Chains A and B, each alone.
Chain A
Amino acid sequence: MSMSSTASRTAELAQSADEGAILAARPLALPASLWASGPAIFASLAWIGFGLSCLLWEDLGDWSRTHELAIAAFVIAAGILVAAPNALRLGRFGKGLQLRAPWLLALGLFFTLWEVATAKFAWLPLPFFPPPQAIIEVYTDDLPKLLVSVWASVKLQLGGYAIGAAAGFLTGVSIGWSRSVGYWVHPILRFIGPLPATAWLPFAFFTFPSSWSASTFLIALATAFPVTVLTWSGVASVSNAYYDVARTLGAKPSFLVLKVAIPAALPHVFVGLFMGLGSSFAVLVVAEMIGVKAGLGWYLQWAQGWAAYANMYAALIVMSLLCSGAITLLFKTRDRLLVWQKGVVKW
């Protein structure tokens, strides 16, 4: 990490000094292409193995997508095999493939093992450990319900998180900036903040007009606490020297808040946003399970009620994709807003 950041810094500087051309001449990677596609070839073999494992033995259960799964595995294997030697010509995609070849290999092996251990020989007890084709079956046959659930969850989470983040940010800036606001809000924050947002569930569900507004409130609450505390500590820890500089240059209080305090506090704010995201996911799922009757949490609950374990796993996978997608998005936003931090701190 530190090496690559040093490199990018050097590159930036060189560019500003109009010396970019010298750095741009990078070494040719051609002779390495054959050697580099080794892991990809093994990955391809592993996926062929997965496909074969689907076809070689009879399924122990009644699953309808085994053949499709095998075909998909062969397609992936062929794709890897074709792409690997041409990685250089495929640009970014090729580079990504080369980088991820060991992972593709591991995944191929894992799927093979999973297939054999569940669908073929039931080394793992069957209803609780569904095979890959059972999960695929959920995605193909129960798609509408799953999509509706995803959409409900995303809507609820997005609304609650946005409200919580905005409220937390504003509160944090106000108590960090103004002593009198801090005097009143700080004790309240201290008293209420550490309470897990889920503890409010019963209260929220009978005071709010709808379960949707109650859940939005809870998610916002779970987000707001860490965002408030970290924004506040960020604003409070801004060096006085920055304010002095700005004041001697004619800055009014609004400029000090918007152009000095907030940018300086932004790294802290993002820590708060990350923490808020984590705790709001937890609240989302619980709220959906208990009150909302829609969304992925509810889908999980429903699947468990019907002992539809494949549906449960399918929903879990979607959920983890959504959560990690949200985190990635937040990381990308931070990287864009805080370019100046690169080289100041190690990420």
Chain B
Amino acid sequence: MVALAIAEQELPAAAGASLDVEAVSHAFDIDGAVLPVLDNVSFSVKASEFVALLGPSGCGKSTLLRLVAGLEPPRAGILREDGDPIAGPFPSRVVVFQDPTLLPWRTVWHNVALGPEAQGILKQQRHRVDAAIDLVGLSTFRNAYPHQLSGGMAQRVALARALVNDPRILILDEPLGKLDSLTRITMQAEIAALWQRSGFTTLLVTHDVEEAVFLANRVIVFSDRPARIKADIAVDRPYPRHRGDPKLVELRHEILGLLGLDATW
């Protein structure tokens, strides 16, 4: 997209933070019964690494992301950002949720401005809000309300709302799930470029195996609920990548096999 060159100056690079997930278990109480969701999950993400999380629906991926964001404490285990325990939400770890959850009473611009406004630094950051909106290609819609946007556009606004905060860890929960395949491919390239430029650590949950191997340094595959790590696969290919890369295709088959989908091939 055209806005990229501008955005490069507008969004200065922030160094990524490392993330450690140490023996984390989590469960929910549903009607008195305990529903275990995460079972002794441990992994480390190096600063500025891009890690994709894959797993069956309902296994606990979004729950793990909520723990990383600090929205809930884990029942057991500990999570660390740059070695410091995560005790609550902080704008250095920004989440793009599975649902865009834009605030319906705010225009696109004011939704994107939410982070700076909440932190009391909106005055100095107005141009960054504009830049982030340009980046996702929605500058003509800056005054539109969320209900006037398509699902994909709303998802892009949510992405801009996260990026404007200069996160050190960017947490993406199926951010491209609602996009059509063309926009999706463009946005994947966009995210890859952005990540390489800004150097934030990225945690991406996706259902799309191709997307995972195309974007990530590592792919972590989870088991069915309660989620356990089933495999931790390095994707050792240089960027920019090509979708047809035989190594990536091979990895994709391997991962689909791990997810129990080899019958379709």
A27 at the interface (CB under 8 A from B): no
* Docked pose: A68 CA to B209 CA in angstroms: 86
Residue in B69, B119, B148 whose Cβ sees the most chain A Cβ within 10 Å = B148
A190 at the interface (CB under 8 A from B): no
Q: Are B148 and A255 interface neighbours, CB within 8 A?
A: no
**A16-B141 CB under 8 A given contacts A248-B94, A249-B165:** yes
* Docked pose: A246 CA to B140 CA in angstroms: 25
Q: Are B105 and A246 interface neighbours, CB within 8 A?
A: no
A13 at the interface (CB under 8 A from B): yes
Chain A residues closer than 8 Å to B165, beta-carbon distance:
249-250
Chain A residues closer than 8 Å to B117, beta-carbon distance:
255, 259
Stretch in contact with the other chain, from B14-22, B95-103, B214-222: B95-103
Chain A residue nearest to B114 (CB atoms) is A249
B61 at the interface (CB under 8 A from A): no
Using a Cβ–Cβ cut-off of 8 Å, how many residues does chain A contribute to the interface with B?
30
Q: How many cross-chain pairs have Cβ atoms below 8 Å apart between A and B?
A: 86
Chain B residue nearest to A249 (CB atoms) is B115
**Main SS of chain A's interface residues?**
helix
Contact of B99 among A16, A241, A252, A343 (CB under 8 A): A241
Chain B residues closer than 8 Å to A251, beta-carbon distance:
114, 118
Contact of B145 among A250, A260, A340 (CB under 8 A): A340
* Docked pose: A17 CA to B144 CA in angstroms: 10
Chain A residues closer than 8 Å to B69, beta-carbon distance:
244, 248
Chain A residue nearest to B70 (CB atoms) is A248
The digit string for A1-38, where 1 denotes a CB below 8 A from any CB of B, is: 00000000100110011100000000000000000000
Q: Are A248 and B148 interface neighbours, CB within 8 A?
A: no
Give me the interface of A with B, judged by CB distance under 8 Å.
9, 12-13, 16-18, 239, 241-242, 244-252, 255, 259-260, 263-264, 266, 338-341, 343-344
Q: Are A252 and B118 interface neighbours, CB within 8 A?
A: yes
Which 4 pairs of residues, A with B, have the shortest CB-CB distance? A249-B115, A250-B91, A251-B118, A250-B119
The digit string for B152-183, where 1 denotes a CB below 8 A from any CB of A, is: 00000000010001000000000000000000
Q: Are B101 and A250 interface neighbours, CB within 8 A?
A: no
Q: Are B104 and A247 interface neighbours, CB within 8 A?
A: no
**Main SS of chain B's interface residues?**
loop
Chain A residue nearest to B88 (CB atoms) is A247
B90 at the interface (CB under 8 A from A): yes
Q: Are B140 and A16 interface neighbours, CB within 8 A?
A: yes
Chain A residues closer than 8 Å to B103, beta-carbon distance:
242, 245, 260, 263-264
Pick 29 A–B contacts, CB within 8 A, sort by A: A12-B148, A242-B101, A244-B71, A244-B95, A244-B101, A245-B95, A245-B114, A245-B161, A248-B69, A248-B71, A248-B89, A249-B91, A249-B165, A250-B89, A250-B91, A250-B118, A251-B114, A260-B103, A263-B103, A263-B105, A263-B106, A264-B103, A266-B105, A340-B104, A340-B147, A341-B105, A343-B145, A344-B104, A344-B147
